[in-house]
Chains A and B, each alone.
Chain A
């Protein structure tokens, strides 16, 4: 909880972890299900906020970097117009570098 420096600079290609409370116990993961396992690009860091996984259960919550991450519409849905995108706020620990 001492450093909130974001690990992923703008332009980093990331994957959203396919992470579920069912596999690791009660927590509040605010990642929309349609993004889990999907690849996107960091638009920009948005600062750092307290971890909602724990806040929702009234547990002590660390402060974690938050990002705006951009996804291609067609990659998510297999439909839509090329160039259209979705921009979503995601916490650093819900992301991993894309291979």
Chain B
């Protein structure tokens, strides 16, 4: 899906970064480090956090109390990143994350957002018709489950902690993490064993 940027956009970016460096706001090294940090981020980080929370009650509590600290414990540097909030699903409650204003996304632990997360269609519909959106994803919630749409509008970034699926008794964290995809962490899908 990636395609080469146009020469015009590359030239514009180069002028912009040169202007930032000249202004003293940020150095080119800082920009490079931020890009590298974002490139290192991956939904497997969020998945590992969820799997650990499923198997470690203390970590589960920490994750809900302070998501950023929980990420740091997994070796993620959260310095300069917005605080991470974690939304715990429960029997009867399912969370779905959207940013209707732009595309706020917990990049520190999920990496780059998928294109659909930034689309006008998802942003408009997730908040108004979450059940229709989930149906199109093929996601069926247990009977009687309420949906809580989380519109990420300000300083936090939000990630879903789903409930541990049935049939995973005795699984270790590494095996559990394999069930937790990017879409599960946004709330458009449920993990299944």
A contact set with B: CB distance below 8 Å: 30-32, 34, 46-47, 49, 52, 66, 70, 73, 76-77, 79-81, 83-91
Contacts and interface: CB of A to CB of B under 8 A. Distances in A.
Report the 10 A-B pairs with minimum CB-CB distance, sorted nearest first.
A89-B154, A83-B146, A49-B155, A88-B151, A84-B147, A86-B149, A87-B150, A85-B148, A89-B153, A32-B100
Contacts of A46: 85, 155-156
Interface of B: 83, 85, 100-101, 127-131, 146-156
Nearest to B155: A49
Among A81, A85, A86, A87, find the residue whose CB has the most chain B CB atoms closer than 10 A. A86
Contact of B101 (A30, A49, A66, A70): A30
Among B101, B150, B153, find the residue whose CB has the most chain A CB atoms closer than 10 A. B153
A15 B51 CA distance: 38
A81 B134 CA distance: 14
* B-side interface mostly: mixed
Given A77-B128, A81-B131, A86-B127, A32 B153 contact: yes
Contacts of B155: 46-47, 49, 66, 89
A91 B101 contact: no
Nearest to A76: B128
Contact of B151 (A80, A83, A86): A86
B108 to A, nearest CB: 17
Among A31, A32, A79, find the residue whose CB has the most chain B CB atoms closer than 10 A. A32
